[in-house]
Chains A and B, each alone.
Chain A
Amino acid sequence: MTEPTTDQAHPLVQISNVTKYFPVTSGLILQRKVGEVRAVDDVSFTINRGETLGLVGESGSGKSTLGRCIVQLHKQTAGGIQFDGVELNTLGDKEMRVMRRRINMIFQDPYSSLSPRMTAGGIIGEPITIHHLAENDAARRERVAELLHIVGLNPYMADRYPHEFSGGQRQRIGIARAIAAAPDFIVADEPVSALDVSIQAQVINLMQDLQERFNLTYLLIAHDLSVVRHISDRVAVMYLGKLMELAPCDDLYETPLHPYTKALLSAVPVPDPEVEEQREHIVLQGDIPSPLSPPSGCVFHTRCPMAVDECRVTVPEFKEVAPNHMVACLRVGPDAI
């Protein structure tokens, strides 16, 4: 094949200026709005066909909220999300339901994301029924058996209930369900962080195999930077609802430009004592500020080792400073201060 696997001219998902605020209310009856949590604040990027985009950030950075907006589990407050050229916000319930066949999600917690009262076969078969993908019951059962086989489980396990499976096996069921309706795009929200180390590798490999086999596009939301690097083509870094940096995977890990990305990378311990001795460690002071009242100017300035006075007042623009390398920092790039 001469065609590249990722088509940058026609991205699969286009996110433009997406903002999601959650209102904070006070009082039992009147529910006066007293403030808002700025979970996602004016975020724009694209996801290309066939690629894996890693979305990293600490808890409270808004990465899960953004993921949920993309699959329309949350309606965004403002901005647009285009999937394959169609603006999701304009779709009615019925049209959205049809669209959902193509967009799916893998959740973090394999314990609470599966209904305890349904069998594995029922859980995996549900999307097949909803989207009328099987002619009859026998065909559906056959498809479920095939899916179980694809994710590395035994087809005879279809009649078992979730509690009879281990964490890694449950995550495989969640994955089988996510691919049951043959989607194009999967948002995986922390798919391995609840699993043991030795099981994580199994699930990561499975996700990679499925991507190759079914030409899937992934948005991988995770806080584990090593895992993200392992399977992503491009990586976006979020902090307090805003994108800080977005670059091809190797660029981001080898030449991080944003001070937050640098600190984040240096905080990840490497399982090798000799390497650890050599590495430079930037230990950030303090905690992530409250998204109820984010800092003025650059949201990172309160913890940034490079911050100057200007950072307190001016919101940095998210701009391209090297080919395909986007950064939101006043102190990075050709016109840096």
Chain B
Amino acid sequence: MKKFWALFFWFWPLVALYVCLIAPGRNWWFPSKPLSTLGHQIDGLFYLILIIVTVTFVGTEFALGYALWKSAVSEPGKKAWFSHGSHKLEIVWTIVPAFVLVFISLTQLDVLADIRVLSRFPESVKEAPVAEVMARQFEWRIRYPKPGTELMTSPQPGDLYFVNEVHVPAAVPTMINLRTQDVQHAFFVPRLRVKQDAVPGLIIPVWFEIEEAGDYELLCAELCGWGHYKMKARIVAESPEGVSAYLTRLEREQNEDGVQEAETASVK
């Protein structure tokens, strides 16, 4: 029975190791491969930490198993060695984790800065948000600047409005201004690995470069009230021409005076 426990504690690290090795290839950790440039860096950090944690876990478990095994096979009656108060050991297990943590925090600094710090944003997007995404209980309200003009922080005549659907260009860096009208929300696009809180009173620039055209799910990731689960929207990534065609269509719809529409209806 004593040997069983040693084998038991050796068995689990092997399982953990196996799972960690096959998980990335099978998308067990993430809903898909990362589909934005920042996503690759974020996933890279995740896997780095995963490796560190796996090595630590497997090492600790094996040591535990070894201790159990050793005492299981030792002669009956042999007394345990009392090891409390080893100054050397204390120093080792304080310094080693400290180095690991400092290493992690230094490694992620660049990625964090790329995500958050405006001065490190790609030059092409710094001054040119494509849209304002206004979170509110419980939907996403989108404001685009009038085609040909820049997005202003306050609404301008000719601005275009939509709800729960954002059209952005694919394959080029894109920036949106994130705001909230009421409480805290979070702009979360799992497949792009973008997650940013929307904070009352702040205009928070969020940038991403979507690698593949297509539809992306946008969710609220900050419990914002009883209707939090309703806050689902769609990001449509398409060619820049597609986006401008969309905006032209939106502009036409937003200026409908009911007359043109009625004429086409009677033609049908």
Tell me, yes or no, whether A binds B. no
